[in-house]
């Protein structure tokens, strides 16, 4: 019974996430920001399309096909994406993305078999890992990014409640999509800073 609820919740989460991603892509495509009500309506519509079985030749709901490829996304990825729906979404600070990118660079090779050290195994019940995550959340809060504190707290609670199939804390905090997003954020931030510098240089260039 619990398993059935877990599967339903996972499909519901992924349906909303797919709808939010499509929403973001549509906004990028039309190069405009939809009003909040339109965003919510669009997510409701697309979310339902992803969640319910459509019949025809499809054996499963669309979200189940996506889940076959992506698995369950981490709570952090999911909440960051869902946050884009908010009336005035704030950009995620580079101070959050950069550590995520660094952690991912070290974590994935080790977790996928480079050497005998497996940091993924810490996620099953390591006080050390939990302490690091809490410390990171405190730093986010002190740096002024309160949303990060909320997201990491929800991820810890979801893990403690065994919200997803995984019993590993890492699966609630990090996934490859979050890692790739964080990794791409660093060069793009450097590029933006250079462009800003170049533009400000133009303004004050001696005439």
Partner 1 sequence: MSRVIAFCFLLLASVLGYLHIDSRPAWVPFVGGDSVENIQGSEELRDPMETSKPVKDLKNASPAKPTQPSLRMDWLPDTGAPSVHAASLIALRDGAVRAFWFAGSREGAPDVVINTAVFDPQAARWSAPTVVMDRVSAEKGLSRYIAKLGNPVPARMADGRMQLFFVTVSIGGWAGSSISTVISDDEGLTWGQPQRLISSPLINLSTLVKSPAILFADGRLGLPAYHEWIGRFGEFLRIEANQVIDKRRMSSGRGAIQPVVFVDGVQDASAFFRQTRSSSQLKQIPVSETRDAGQSWVASKDLEIPNPNSALAALTLANGTRLMVLNNIDAGRYRLVMVIRESNSPQWKAIQVLEDDESLANDQRREFSYPYLVSASGADAHLAYTWDRKKIRHIYFSANWFKHASNSLKEKEAQ
Provide the minimum distance between the beta carbon of 202 and partner 1 in the complex, in angstroms, as a whole number. 38
Task: Select from 36, 52, 114, 184 the one that contacts partner 1 (CB under 8 A).
Answer: 114
Write each residue from 161 to 190 as x if it is in contact with partner 1 (CB under 8 A), else as -, in one continuous string. Answer: xx-xxxxxxxx--xxx--------------
Provide the minimum distance between the beta carbon of 117 and partner 1 in the complex, in angstroms, as a whole number. 8
Q: Are 27 and 16 in contact (CB under 8 A)?
A: no
Q: Does 152 bind partner 1 (CB under 8 A)?
A: yes
Spatial distance between the Cα atoms of 158 and 177, rounded to a whole number of angstroms: 19
Q: Does 153 bind partner 1 (CB under 8 A)?
A: yes
Q: Does 198 bind partner 1 (CB under 8 A)?
A: no
Spatial distance between the Cα atoms of 35 and 17, rounded to a whole number of angstroms: 19
Q: Does 34 bind partner 1 (CB under 8 A)?
A: no
Q: Does 115 bind partner 1 (CB under 8 A)?
A: yes
Greatest CA span in the chain, whole angstroms?
75
Task: Select from 22, 84, 85, 130 the one that contacts partner 1 (CB under 8 A).
Answer: 130
Site for partner 1 in 131-150 (CB under 8 A): 134, 137-138, 141, 146, 149-150
Q: Can you give the binding site for partner 1, defined by CB under 8 A?
A: 3-4, 7-8, 10-11, 59-60, 64-65, 67-71, 107-108, 111-118, 120-121, 123-127, 130, 134, 137-138, 141, 146, 149-150, 152-154, 156-157, 159-162, 164-171, 174-176
């Amino acid at each position: 019974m619990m398993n059935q609820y877990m599967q339903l919740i996972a499909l519901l989460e992924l349906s909303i996430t797919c709808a939010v991603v499509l929403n973001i892509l549509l906004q990028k495509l039309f190069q405009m920001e939809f009003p909040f009500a339109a965003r919510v309506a669009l997510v409701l519509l697309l979310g339902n399309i992803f969640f319910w079985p459509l019949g025809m030749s499809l054996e499963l709901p669309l979200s189940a096909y996506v889940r076959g490829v992506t698995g369950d996304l981490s709570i952090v990825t999911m909440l960051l994406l869902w946050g884009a729906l908010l009336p005035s979404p704030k950009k995620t600070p580079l101070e959050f993305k950069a550590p995520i990118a660094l952690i991912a660079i070290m974590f994935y090779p080790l977790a996928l078999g480079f050497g005998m050290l497996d940091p993924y195994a810490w996620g099953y019940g390591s006080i050390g890992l939990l302490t690091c995550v809490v410390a990171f959340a405190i730093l986010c809060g002190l740096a002024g990014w309160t949303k990060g504190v909320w997201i990491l707290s929800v991820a810890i609670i979801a893990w403690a409640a065994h919200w997803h199939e995984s019993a590993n804390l890492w699966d609630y905090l990090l996934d490859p999509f979050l890692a790739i997003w964080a990794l791409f954020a660093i060069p793009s931030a450097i590029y933006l800073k250079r462009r800003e510098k170049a533009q400000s240089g133009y303004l004050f260039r001696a005439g």
